[in-house]
C-alpha cells in the first residue's frame, strides 16, 4: 500500500501543481503500475477526493502551519493533502496508517525534516478533530468549507440561483458520478446490451431519464468489455445523451456539429438517423477529430464526415446548408466538476468572461448555417447563467429570425425549465450540470 500512497501523491502533484487533467493522469498512472482492483479503487478515491476537497483541506492545513501552505514544498503539501483527506473523509483507512505512511513517504521522497513536519502537522490535526474552521454565522463561509468551493464560485451560484438551489448545486457537484453507457441501436437492442452487461457481472440499472441509458454502479472498466470494443455501447453522461434526441432528427437530414470532439453527441445523431443523410463533424483541433473518427468506426457509423474548422470564423460554403446544427460550445465546464474536480481551482471570473465572446461568435455563425424552418441546438456543460440564459437572450436580440422551442424531459427535481423555454439540468449522482436550448429558424 506504500507504493499506492506514493502514486496518489504523484498524481495530485501533477494535477494541482502542473495543471494536468485528473482523468488523464489517473488513467496513465494506473496503467503504468501493476495494481490489483482494490488498490486501483483506493487510489482513485483518494486522488479525486483530495482534489475535490482541496479548499477544505487547505483551510485545515493553514491552521496548523505557522507560515501557511504557500511557502511549503508542493510535494510535501500534496502528501499532507492526501493524508488529511483520508483522515477526514475515509472511514476505511485507520488514522494511524494515514499518518505513518505520509511520514514515511515524506522521508523517502524529501527529507527527515519534511517527515517531521508532516508528522507534527497531522498529529496536531488528530488532536483537534472537532475544531471549527469557519464563522458559523456566515452562510458563504459555511458552504465554502462544507462543500469545498472557493468563495467566488459559491457567491456566483448564490447570486444566480439563490441559496437553496446553490447548495443543491454544490452538493451535486461533489457527488461520486456513476458510469453511464448509451446503447447503440445500430448494432443491438437495449435489452440485449442490458442482459449481456448483467451476465458479465456488472451491477447495473436503467437510466435516470434517457431510454438509451444504462447506469453501471459497479464492475470492471467498461472500456475493456466486449460490448464496448464491438461498439454496442459507448460511455456518455445522461445530460449529454439528451442533446441529439432534442434536435428532432429525421432520416436523410443534413446535420452540422460545429464543436464535435470527442464525438459522443455526433455519433448519437448518426445513430438516431440510422446512418442516413450526412453528419458533418467539425473541430478546431485535428488531433481531437481522430477521436471522433475512432468512435464512429467502433460504433459502425458511416454517414459522418470530419473536417477541421474554427467554428468562431464564418464559412460561406456552409450558409443555409443544414436542417439541424448543433453547437455544444466551449464553456467554463462548471457543470462537470463531479468528474473533473480540478475545474474548481483552474477557473476564475476572468476566464468565464473571456469565453463568452467565443461562444457568441460561434452562435452567430451557426445561425447562418441553418436552413429556414431548420433548428439550432445550443448546449453547454456549465451552470453559469451568463454563458447560458444571457447568451440566448443576446442571440435572439441579434437574430430575430429565431424563436425558442421549449423542451420538456419530464418532471424531475434536478431539471429547471425557464419561462422562456430554456432547460437547466442540476448535477446529481446520475447527471452532469448542463444547459440545453432549442432554437427554430422561422425565415
The reply, when asked if residue 332 is annotated as ligand binding, is no
The reply, when asked if residue 265 is annotated as ligand binding, is yes
| CA–CA distance, 157 with 410 (Å, rounded to integer) | 24
Cell 439540468 sits at which residue? 425
Q: Is 324 a catalytic residue?
A: no
| CA–CA distance, 288 with 290 (Å, rounded to integer) | 5
The reply, when asked if residue 260 is annotated as ligand binding, is yes
| CA–CA distance, 350 with 357 (Å, rounded to integer) | 12
The reply, when asked if residue 315 is annotated as ligand binding, is no
The reply, when asked if residue 68 is annotated as ligand binding, is no
Closest CA to 184 of 293, 264, 292: 264
Please give the full DSSP string across 426-443, using - where no structure is assigned. Answer: ---SS---EEEEEEEE--
Closest CA to 339 of 26, 37, 110: 26
Catalytic residue (choose from 144, 306, 381, 422): 381
The reply, when asked if residue 264 is annotated as ligand binding, is yes
| CA–CA distance, 434 with 414 (Å, rounded to integer) | 10
Helix (H) or strand (E) holding 179: strand 179-183
Kindly compute the dihedral angle of the four CA atoms of residues 19, 23, 28, 34, in this order, to the nearest 10 degrees: 130
The reply, when asked if residue 210 is annotated as ligand binding, is no
DSSP 8-class letter at 404: E
Question: b/e per residue, 348-374, with b = 16+ CB within 10 A?
Answer: eeeebeebbeebbbbbebbbbbbeeeb
| CA–CA distance, 65 with 210 (Å, rounded to integer) | 49
The reply, when asked if residue 310 is annotated as ligand binding, is yes
The reply, when asked if residue 262 is annotated as ligand binding, is yes
The reply, when asked if residue 203 is annotated as ligand binding, is no
Residues of the binding site: 259-265, 283, 310, 328
Give me the active site residues, please. Answer: 381
Binding residues for S-adenosyl-L-methionine: 259-265, 283, 310, 328
Amino acid at each position: 500500500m506504500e507504493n499506492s500512497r506514493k502514486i496518489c501523491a504523484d498524481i495530485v502533484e501533477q494535477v494541482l501543481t502542473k495543471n494536468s487533467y485528473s482523468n488523464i493522469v489517473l488513467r496513465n498512472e494506473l496503467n503504468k503500475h501493476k495494481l490489483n482492483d482494490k488498490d486501483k479503487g483506493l487510489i482513485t478515491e483518494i486522488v479525486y477526493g483530495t482534489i475535490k476537497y482541496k479548499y477544505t483541506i487547505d483551510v485545515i492545513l493553514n491552521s496548523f502551519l505557522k507560515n501557511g501552505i504557500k511557502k511549503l514544498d508542493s510535494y510535501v503539501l500534496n502528501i499532507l493533502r492526501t493524508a488529511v483527506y483520508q483522515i477526514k473523509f475515509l472511514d476505511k483507512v485507520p488514522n494511524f496508517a494515514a499518518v505513518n505512511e505520509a511520514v514515511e513517504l515524506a522521508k523517502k521522497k524529501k527529507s527527515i525534516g519534511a517527515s517531521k513536519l508532516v508528522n507534527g502537522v497531522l498529529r496536531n490535526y488528530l488532536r483537534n478533530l472537532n475544531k471549527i474552521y469557519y464563522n458559523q454565522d456566515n452562510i458563504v463561509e459555511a458552504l465554502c468549507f462544507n462543500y469545498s468551493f472557493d468563495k467566488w464560485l459559491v457567491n456566483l451560484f448564490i447570486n444566480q440561483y439563490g441559496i437553496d438551489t446553490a447548495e443543491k448545486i454544490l452538493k451535486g457537484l461533489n457527488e461520486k458520478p456513476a458510469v453511464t453507457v448509451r446503447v447503440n441501436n445500430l448494432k443491438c437492442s437495449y435489452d440485449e446490451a442490458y442482459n449481456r452487461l448483467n451476465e458479465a457481472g456488472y451491477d447495473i440499472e436503467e437510466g435516470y431519464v434517457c431510454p438509451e441509458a444504462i447506469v453501471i454502479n459497479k464492475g470492471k472498466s467498461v472500456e475493456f468489455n466486449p460490448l464496448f470494443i464491438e461498439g454496442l455501447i459507448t460511455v456518455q453522461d445522461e445530460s449529454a445523451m439528451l442533446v441529439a434526441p432534442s434536435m428532432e432528427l429525421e432520416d436523410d437530414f443534413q446535420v452540422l456539429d460545429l464543436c464535435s470532439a470527442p464525438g459522443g453527441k455526433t455519433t448519437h445523431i448518426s445513430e438516431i438517423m440510422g446512418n442516413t443523410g450526412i453528419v458533418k463533424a467539425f473541430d478546431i483541433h485535428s488531433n481531437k477529430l481522430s477521436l471522433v473518427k475512432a468512435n464512429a468506426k467502433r460504433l459502425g457509423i458511416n454517414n459522418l464526415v470530419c473536417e477541421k474548422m474554427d467554428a468562431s470564423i464564418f464559412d460561406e460554403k456552409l450558409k443555409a446548408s443544414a436542417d439541424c446544427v448543433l453547437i455544444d460550445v466551449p464553456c467554463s465546464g462548471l457543470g462537470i466538476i463531479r468528474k473533473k474536480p480540478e475545474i474548481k481551482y483552474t477557473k476564475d471570473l476572468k476566464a468565464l468572461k473571456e469565453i463568452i465572446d467565443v461562444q457568441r461568435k460561434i452562435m452567430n455563425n451557426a445561425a447562418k448555417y441553418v436552413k429556414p424552418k431548420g433548428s439550432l441546438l445550443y448546449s453547454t456543460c456549465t451552470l453559469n447563467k451568463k454563458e447560458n440564459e444571457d447568451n440566448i437572450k443576446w442571440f435572439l436580440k441579434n437574430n430575430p429570425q429565431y424563436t425558442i422551442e421549449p423542451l420538456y424531459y419530464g418532471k424531475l427535481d434536478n431539471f429547471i425549465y425557464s419561462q422562456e423555454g430554456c432547460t437547466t439540468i442540476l448535477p446529481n449522482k446520475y447527471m452532469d450540470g448542463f444547459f440545453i436550448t432549442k432554437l427554430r429558424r422561422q425565415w
